[in-house]
Amino acid sequence: MDRDREPVRDRDQDYHALLQVLDKRVVTIGGGTGPFALLSTLKRYPCAITAIVTMADSGGSSRRLMDEFGQLPFGDLRQALVALSRKGVLWRDVFNFRFRKGNGHRSPDASAPDVALPAAAAAGEAPDESLVQRVAEQAGVGGHSLGNLIISALQSINDDNLLHAIADAQELLDTAGRVLPVTLSHATLCAELTDDRIVRGETNIDTRGERDSSDEALPAIRRLFLEEETPACDEAIRAIRRADILVIGPGDLYTSILPNLLVHGVAEAIHASEAQKVYVCNLMTKRGETDGFRASDFVKEIHQYLGDRVDRVILHDGSFPEPLLGLYAAKCQRPVEADVEEVRRLVPEVVVDQLLAIHGDHLVRHDADRLVRAVLAPANLGLSDLALATQQVPVARRRA
């Protein structure tokens, strides 16, 4: 593509994306770090956003709160709240701050990046971090995310009502939309492998490829299921049924996306919804989960657990910097092949674009701006529509 014409195309797509989403109800379904950039960018558009997140997390701070207090995992809820926050950097840092574990070791739960302590408002200077960490250890909160603890406290204040606690967190963070758990019940994720073994727990499934240092191929996942039937959150079902646009992903297929579809009533609600259903395909494969998967394999798995097809699939065009390929290959991860023609046989619309963004940590992620355009703009958008981009888009009232 002519690089000189890309800004023209982007402006054109921005305009059409605005028209597409104007005063619409957009519901995202996922978990983990995948939806963060999508939600952070989507909140700039004139739409009503609801983020539905998985509750199958079983590691780190969430695991401890579950074991010690019987509470549901808050990690994915916290990340979605922070992504939608309009309060500014300080409150986002507060919710993302993680106390270190004893002996100076950081928590193994890296679902959100560690951040520096916010400045002490009263003193006007940063507190002694070692003192804060010692107090945290004595209080038994070493390794915990401060955001998780705040949500836990809000739940206690609200007589153990998690939805009310989330509503209060949304008020604190001035979020640009709602965040809902896919279920209000405990959900234990299980995977049946091709060697007939059962792996129990989201974290064990998610880290299986990292924990095995051998060069041998790992048994694939034959079937994903919840240990017990898990009812959906009524508010989440209502949001799905009322949606105009449903966005599934991005995120790890077996630990962030499919667990939502396993919750009783969710797949049926998506099927019944008149919303346009969009699936954002992964950029890279993941060892022990999607080894050797092409884009069509991801789509087929989504369709199998959904019991229906999606309307649109978003694919990266396959371009990757060579140095990064070597880094990922060392972890047995490879770019997802965009087998476009096969995907076209599965869904009505396929959007292929250069969606790669490379951050300072040298990890590949979706370019948030282009991803939102690909999700919202018409698939047949052309540069000939440039004149439309000069028009003014009216500011719409966001629907509740």
Confidence at 285, pLDDT banded by 50, 70, 90: very high
pLDDT tens string 322-363: 877 877 877 888 999 999 999 999 999 999 988 888 766 567
Which whole number is the average pLDDT over 187-197?
Answer: 94
pLDDT tens string 364-394: 888 899 999 888 875 444 322 322 332 333 3
Question: For the whole model, what pTM was predicted?
Answer: 0.80
- Whether residue 230 contacts residue 263, with contact meaning beta carbons closer than 8 Å, is answered with yes
CATH code for residues 3-55+183-390? 3.40.50.10680
pLDDT tens string 78-136: 999 999 999 878 888 888 887 666 544 444 343 443 434 444 433 444 445 565 455 44
- pLDDT (0 to 100) of residue 209: 78
Residue 395 is which amino acid? V
Which whole number is the average pLDDT over 255-271?
Answer: 96
The dihedrals phi and psi of 87, each to the nearest 5 degrees, come to -80, -20
- Whether residue 150 contacts residue 184, with contact meaning beta carbons closer than 8 Å, is answered with no
- pLDDT (0 to 100) of residue 6: 58
Which whole number is the average pLDDT over 68-81?
Answer: 75
Can you tell me which residue has the tokens 């619409």? 24
Output the CA torsion sign for 177, 30, 181, 302.
positive
In this structure, what token pair is assigned to residue 397? 């009232």
In this structure, what token pair is assigned to residue 292? 């050797």
Domains of the chain, residue spans: 3-55+183-390, 91-181
Residue 55's alpha-carbon distances to 75, 132, 209, 391, in angstroms, are: 9, 30, 22, 43
pLDDT tens string 142-167: 556 788 888 988 999 999 999 999 99
Higher pLDDT pick, 3 / 21? 21
Q: Which residues contact 247 (CB under 8 A, 6 or more apart)?
A: 26, 27, 28, 29, 38, 278, 280, 375
Please tell me the number of Cα atoms within 13 Å of 299 on its side-chain side: 29
Q: Is 49 helix (H, G, I), strand (E, B) or coil?
A: strand
